[in-house]
């Protein structure tokens, strides 16, 4: 009778709802991807460095070394602070053109 028509309609309705959510998530994650890409492009263009993953990781490590230098200076450890500062500045000067 109309059993096949009903289940076909039900399948299409459930499929449309699932498709709506998947398209929404794709739009959301696509927006995050473009925002992250634009952020990395702007950051690298401003600093004059490449947009490669290695350059971004080196930038993060260099900033962590500078943070360690500040912490060492606050603990009144001058020698260790100078070592961390020299390493951080060396690494950052290596990646920034």
What is the reported pTM? 0.69
* 40 and 19 belong to one structural domain: yes
Q: What is the pLDDT of residue 2?
A: 54
State whether 37 and 59 are in the same domain. no
- 57 and 97 belong to one structural domain: yes
Share above pLDDT 70 across residues of the chain, in percent, rounded to a whole number: 97
How much of the chain is in helix, strand and coil states, percent to nearest 5?
Answer: 90, 0, 10
Same domain, 54 and 16: no
Identify the band that residue 97 occupies on the pLDDT scale cut at 50, 70 and 90: confident
- Same domain, yes or no: 60 and 84: yes
Which residue segment(s) compose the domain that 93 sits in? 49-97
What is residue 97's DSSP assignment?
-
- What is the number of domains present in the chain? 2
**Helix or strand or coil: residue 48?**
coil
Same domain for 16 and 31: yes
Domain co-membership, 42 together with 71: no
Residues 61 and 24 in one domain: no
Q: In this structure, are 4 and 32 located in the same domain? A: yes
Span 18-77, pLDDT tens digits: 999 999 999 999 999 999 999 999 989 998 888 888 989 999 999 999 999 999 999 998
Does residue 93 sit in helix, strand or coil?
A: helix
Dist. CA 72–CA 74, nearest whole Å: 5
For residue 24, what are its two tokens? 């929404």
Predicted pLDDT at 3: 57
40 shares its domain with 58: no
- Give the model confidence (pLDDT) of 71-91 as tens digits: 999 999 899 999 999 999 999
51 phi and psi angles, rounded to 5 deg: -95, 15
């Amino acid at each position: 009778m109309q059993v096949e028509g009903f289940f076909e309609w039900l399948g299409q309705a459930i499929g449309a709802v699932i498709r709506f959510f998947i398209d929404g998530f794709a739009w959301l994650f696509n927006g995050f991807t473009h925002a992250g890409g634009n952020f990395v492009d702007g950051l690298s263009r401003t600093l004059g460095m490449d947009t490669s993953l290695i350059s971004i990781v080196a930038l993060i490590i260099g900033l962590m070394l500078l943070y360690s230098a500040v912490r060492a200076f606050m603990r009144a450890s001058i020698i260790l602070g100078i070592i961390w500062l020299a390493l951080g500045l060396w690494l950052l000067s290596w990646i920034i053109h």
